[in-house]
Structure formats: C-alpha cells, structure tokens
Amino acid sequence: MRSLILSIFVSILLMPAVHAQEQSSSASSESSGSGAVVDIWTERAERAEGFSSQWSRFALVHSSWIAKWQKVRGKLLLHIDRCHDDVRSANRDTLLPVSLQCYRGQLLIERDALKNERDVIDQWPGLSAELKTAMLARIDALQGALQPIIDAIDAKVFTTLDAFRDVRENLRTQYRQPYWFAAAQVRNGTALTWLDALLLSLKSASEDTGFSEEVRQKITDALECYAIAEPFLIPSETIDSLESLRENLAKASGQIASCSPVLSEAQALQHSSSSSSSL
C-alpha cells in the first residue's frame, strides 16, 4: 500500500508541462525558522482543506464540462473559418450583413458556452470565495453584454461597418478582457490549491517512518522542488495584467514539470525497498 502513495502524488499533477523554469527566493522561507514554517503550512492547509475529497466528487462534472467545451470550441472554430471565407467573398454591398450574421452566430455559441461554464464554476472546489465571486460576476457581465448585441443585429441597428467595429471593440475591452483576467486567476488559484494538496501529502510522507531514510530524503527533495513553484501562484495586488498571470502560471508549470523526475525517483526507491523486504 505504501508504494501506491507516491503513485497518487504523481497523479495529482494535472498542470501541463511548459518550457519555463525560474526559482524564487521566497520559497525558502518554509525552512528559515519555526515561525515561518507554521505560517506557511497553516496557510497551505487552509487553502487545501477538504480539496481532495471535494475534487473527487466534482471530477465527473469537470470532465463532462471539458468534453462539452471541446465540442463548442470545435464548433466555434469551424464557424469562424467559414465566416472568414464568407467575408473574403463578400462585396462592398454584402460585407456588412455577412459580417453581422457571422458575429451573431459567434455570440450565440459563446452565450451557450458561458451558461455551461457558470454552472461549473459555481460548483468548482478549492477556489476562494473572492475568486469564485469575481469569476461569476465576469461571466454574468459578459453574458449580459452579448444579448443586446444579438438583438441589435436582429433589429438591423448597425448601418455601417464602423459602428459594428466600435461595438465589437467595446465588448472586447469592457467585458472580454476582464473575463479573461478572472479566468486566468481561476486557473492559477486552482493550480495553487492542487499544489498545496500535493505539498501537504509530501510533507506527511516525508515524516512517515515506515519509509526508509533514503526514500524520505528523496520525498523531501521533491517537496522542496515543488515548493519553488508556489510563489508564482499566490495572488498578489501587484499582478494586474493577463500577461503576468499567464507568465506566472507558465513558470509554475515549468518548475512543477522539472520536479516530476525527483518524485519518480522516490517512487522507484520505495518500490525497490518493498520488493527487497518481501524476499
């Protein structure tokens, strides 16, 4: 059974590998003094409290949503490709109505996708109340902005391409960009909770005297490696751009990917130890 524990640790790493790696000096605070250790581990425990069991119950909802999202994404990309062809084929007289109908179709697809996303985010475990509330608010705002544009297209309100482009740009800056920013915060927040759950599991295993000293040391090495990624995911008021959030997630993902071999070594050592003891 003990050899299965490390396999579970590996399965926790859901984040994609990104070719980026950068260490942060703030990660070392967990070993800088007893006070810092208590604070860090208390914060991790609070963020990850009940997360594993909650995610197990949520996993089916999440996988179903991902499958739906992939279908919607394929439908949207196909629609956009067709619209590009239609717009290229349009003449001066038909360009505006063709563009409007293409955009209307895009908004309808997005509207339905946002409704599904809202239902899922409302159930999403491991998010702070602040992050969840912000994400739901951005979804609601974007949803609310789509329908008036659809209605305006149906009512033939737009009489020039410039008017249409102005509305499209306003939708992007006033509603899409805040939505994208909130979505990035949710991704980073989820990654942080996953990481904290992993760190807590590794800490427990590193203190388990049922493992050999060599295995426990290798687990500790893995813990220290993964902890380097944590500061990139912790929310900060200084991070106010989508690019910064994405960059931090990429750095954290790259660091996490670099730690997988260390954890695999611990698993291999434990497997070897278990095999030897059974002889």
Q: How far apart are CA 221 and CA 206, in angstroms?
A: 9
Question: Domain residues of the chain, as ranges?
Answer: 54-186
pTM: 0.80
**Is there a contact between 185 and 36 (Cβ–Cβ < 8 Å)?**
no
In tens, the pLDDT along 156-188 reads: 999 999 999 999 999 999 999 999 999 999 999
**pLDDT-derived band of residue 38, with 50, 70 and 90 as boundaries?**
low
Rounded CA separation 52/148 (Å): 41
Predicted confidence at residue 106, as pLDDT, reads 96
Strands in 137-191 per DSSP E: none
Residue with tokens 């609070």: 46
| Residue 88 burial by Cβ neighbours in a 10 Å radius (0-12, 13-18, 19+) | exposed
Query: Which tens digits make up the pLDDT trace of 222-267?
Result: 999 999 999 999 887 678 899 999 999 999 999 999 999 998 998 8
